[in-house]
Amino acid sequence: MIKKIKHSKHRKKVQKDLIDMIVYDTTMDDYINKYKKLLKKKYNHLSDKKFIDKTKNIVFRKMYHIQQWDQYIGFMDEIINKKNSEK
């Protein structure tokens, strides 16, 4: 278990100001690229089955449920067929 470090009020203020400076000086493209990398790391460690389970209800581009996305449906079918052929 990680022990929580107590910081001084001065440290907290300096840290908050530094984070604000970094955030407000960063472009939207940088945020998008960082978010893509974060999502890639999040999903890369999942098996195919866990990936499908984890992404079942995600809204794709906030307009369509991911189940309506052709490539996703094809991937799900491929995994289901692969699982059935292994039995």
Tens of pLDDT, residues 17-57: 999 998 899 999 999 999 999 999 999 999 998 888 888 77
How far is residue 31 from each of residues 37, 49, 71, measured CA to CA in Å?
A: 10, 29, 26
Which pTM was predicted? 0.58
For β-strands 64-65 and 59-60, DSSP reports them as antiparallel
The pair of three-digit structure tokens given for residue 5, joined into one six-digit string: 């470090």
Examine the domain organization and report whether 64 and 53 are in the same domain. Answer: yes
Domain that includes residue 39, residue range? 7-45
Q: How many domains does the chain have?
A: 2
Give the per-residue pLDDT at 55. Answer: 83
Give the per-residue pLDDT at 28. Answer: 92
Examine the domain organization and report whether 30 and 50 are in the same domain. Answer: no
Examine the domain organization and report whether 51 and 71 are in the same domain. Answer: yes
How far is residue 19 from each of residues 7, 25, 31, 38, 39, measured CA to CA in Å?
A: 16, 10, 14, 18, 21
Examine the domain organization and report whether 15 and 38 are in the same domain. Answer: yes
Residue tagged 């067929």 (tokens)? 81
1 inside domain = no
Examine the domain organization and report whether 51 and 27 are in the same domain. Answer: no
Examine the domain organization and report whether 38 and 50 are in the same domain. Answer: no
